[in-house]
A and B are shown apart, each in its own frame.
Chain A
């Protein structure tokens, strides 16, 4: 029972974090048809900004500054590295590979700046309570609360504001949207900023629970992608549910079966969904399949 409680609570927190990363992923995909595999690196960058670069003495303010900065970096990344290729005929695959490049660059710059040893960060909301012999950090509950607020907020934005509706229209057909007078440059930049801000939220709230270090592989991005695909690409609810599902399946497998295969399991699930059900659990099909014969 103790073990189960611990596994469930850590799955819940990891799932929320993964779900938010998948949400960030989905926002960009909905608007630009791009899979942004640099999510992991920017998430970690946000954490590093509060850990290694303390702008003020107040942890909450530091976090907010990091969120704003990383959000701005999101727009900048789009404008510098992706805008020109996108408007000059680059295919979605090309854009995806570019985001891999961006992630690698960010990672190496961070290593050059701060080294690759883990940095400790005091959580915003310290302390914990004990349940069945497990330490449940309050910061984890804060993360979940923030996630709920974020998702609700974005949903409202999408449904009830002009900007939100325009963002959805952009996802349909960029050229057509432009004919309707939608300023796609501004809007897509905003979407990237929002997406990266969400990543920064995860970085500042979740990573302190697990330790902050710039990783030397790209698997955070792949895990977020897996969660987004499994839940259903282009669907915010799908992103979150995908995150929770992946987290629970892999964590519980790690605890009760074999801790070495958790990542493999994530990627195997991704592969299986891409092959058999690319629309994910919520079923919206991706229309990039070849003919049957």
Chain B
């Protein structure tokens, strides 16, 4: 019996390792192709794709794993970005330190917000996060001492269109997706998914529902904030317009579009949205129009996305 179980578990890990390898190949291919292409447009597009993948992965942790819809990922992205700029301007530290600061800021934000939101569920929870997002947007505009206000902040020593940074971002994106993959088959990951499937059943077998929901929020926000730090490395300039509710909605569309698979879904959703977005950035209104159309069409008529997931909530007939 024991050996049979051992074999069983080994098979699951082998499958996970295969997915890891595939992800690594995909991102490596993207990075190599972009570097080979050489143009600034290609590098920028790939950087945006990598960052957006990180954001999609962050929402996947909260929504795909823990059934908590968040409309505030862009706001947390902004917190990470502003913290990184603030830290670098104040003390001229190297990027890894700024990254740690951003991650910590995201985690703290998660802790602070998860507690008041703990008892909320489904769409009421989403509305709570909506309130947070719009408050953050206001804060970014109206606290010029910290954020440079509506005119934004210039980023010191930013490396715009840098190939090494592009490669770093691709590596991070691949790494986060692999982490999601392994989380899914880990003991804690399975408990989180059990809570998502049936919260009362999970509580009745001793799973700590409150703690797991809290951890999901903290990890999700840390990843989003970390992505914000990486964003500042590539942008010469950040402003409140980069971190709006509209951006949060874009991340949500990507997760839903991606579908049930936490690995390929994250990649597919982020890729699909990034490609469509890149085609329409010439006219900013067009980009938003596309987002609006996607929100209506994908959520209304393709709720299972490209690989099969739906937003939380009771099914009504």
Chain A residues with CB under 8 Å of chain B are 33, 35, 81-82, 84-87, 89-94, 96-98, 100-105, 107-109, 111-112, 174-175, 217-219, 222, 225-226, 229, 260-261, 263-264, 267-268, 270-271, 274-275, 278, 286, 288-293
- The one of B116, B122, B137, B295 that contacts A98, using a Cβ cutoff of 8 Å: B295
Which residue of chain B is the closest to A108 with respect to CB atoms? B289
Which residue of chain B is the closest to A85 with respect to CB atoms? B300
- The one of B249, B300, B310 that contacts A81, using a Cβ cutoff of 8 Å: B300
Residue B199 lies at the interface, judged by CB distance under 8 Å to chain A: yes
Residue B4 lies at the interface, judged by CB distance under 8 Å to chain A: no
Q: Once bound together, how far apart are the Cα atoms of A92 and B312, in whole Å?
A: 9
| B313–A263 touching, CB < 8 Å | no
15 new A-B contacts at CB < 8 Å, known A94-B313, A217-B246: A33-B316, A81-B296, A89-B316, A91-B313, A92-B314, A93-B313, A94-B299, A96-B126, A97-B295, A97-B299, A101-B249, A274-B128, A289-B119, A291-B203, A292-B119
| B121–A104 touching, CB < 8 Å | no
Chain B residues with CB under 8 Å of chain A are 69, 116-124, 126-128, 130-132, 134-135, 137-139, 142, 199-200, 203, 209-210, 244-246, 249, 252, 285-286, 288-289, 291-296, 299-301, 303, 310-317
> Which residues of A have CB within 8 Å of B245?
217-218
Q: Once bound together, how far apart are the Cα atoms of A293 and B286, in whole Å?
A: 46
- The one of A93, A105, A111, A292 that contacts B122, using a Cβ cutoff of 8 Å: A93
Q: Once bound together, how far apart are the Cα atoms of A3 and B182, in whole Å?
A: 62
CB distance from A214 to the nearest CB of B (A): 10
| B122–A104 touching, CB < 8 Å | no
Q: Once bound together, how far apart are the Cα atoms of A35 and B109, in whole Å?
A: 27
Task: Pick from A33, A108, A292 the residue with the most CB of B within 10 Å.
Answer: A108
Which residue of chain A is the closest to B143 with respect to CB atoms? A260
> Which residues of B have CB within 8 Å of A275?
116-117, 119-120, 128
> Which residues of A have CB within 8 Å of B118?
290
CB distance from A114 to the nearest CB of B (A): 12
Q: Once bound together, how far apart are the Cα atoms of A93 and B256, in whole Å?
A: 12
| B296–A105 touching, CB < 8 Å | yes
Say yes or no: A85-B303 contact (C-beta < 8 A), given A35-B127, A267-B134: yes
> Which residues of B have CB within 8 Å of A108?
285-286, 288-289, 292
> Which residues of B have CB within 8 Å of A109?
289
| B310–A94 touching, CB < 8 Å | yes
Q: Once bound together, how far apart are the Cα atoms of A291 and B246, in whole Å?
A: 32
Q: Once bound together, how far apart are the Cα atoms of A27 and B313, in whole Å?
A: 21
Q: Can you list 10 A-B pairs with a CB-CB distance of less than 8 A?
A: A87-B317, A91-B123, A93-B312, A97-B311, A229-B127, A271-B116, A286-B124, A288-B124, A290-B119, A290-B199
